[in-house]
Amino acid sequence: SQELEQSPQSLIVQEGKNLTINCTSSKTLYGLYWYKQKYGEGLIFLMMLQKGGEEKSHEKITAKLDEKKQQSSLHITASQPSHAGIYLCGADISSGGGADGLTFGKGTHLIIQP
């Protein structure tokens, strides 16, 4: 089974609406990263969360890590066409040592309808 589950797999949202993407694991997330990817291109770092209950915001994007450090959400307020793309969550689920790098979810495809 996938160690890091992202939902939904795809999302079509009307421009100006809010949306939320979730990233869930049965294991503790020692470092949780959100990336954005334009189709076929590289990954752009959005935010990193480490502490339970942590919340970070940048422009219209807010990411949260729950207290148990097993679930993170990415919330976009008043979506714009520039938000379209693939959102990926990546996390260290090994044991906090981090030597193995990140495990990634399969991604959420976000489409913004004008």
Binding interface with another protein (CB under 8 A)? 30-31, 33, 35, 40-45, 48, 50, 88, 90-92, 97-107
Taking the complex as a whole, the smallest distance from the CB of residue 28 to another protein amounts, in Å, to 12
Question: What secondary structure letter does DSSP report for 66?
Answer: -
> Cβ closer to another protein: 41 or 67?
41
Q: What does the DSSP assignment read for 68-83?
A: TSSEEEEEESS--GGG
Residues 6+ apart with CB under 8 A from 40: none
Taking the complex as a whole, the smallest distance from the CB of residue 34 to another protein amounts, in Å, to 11
User: Would residue 40 be called left, alpha or beta, if left means φ above 0 and alpha means ψ between -120 and 50 degrees?
Assistant: left
Taking the complex as a whole, the smallest distance from the CB of residue 114 to another protein amounts, in Å, to 26
> Cβ closer to another protein: 82 or 99?
99
Taking the complex as a whole, the smallest distance from the CB of residue 78 to another protein amounts, in Å, to 26
With 0-12 / 13-18 / 19 or more C-beta atoms within 10 angstroms meaning exposed / middle / buried, residue 32 is: buried
> Cβ closer to another protein: 40 or 114?
40
> Cβ closer to another protein: 75 or 106?
106
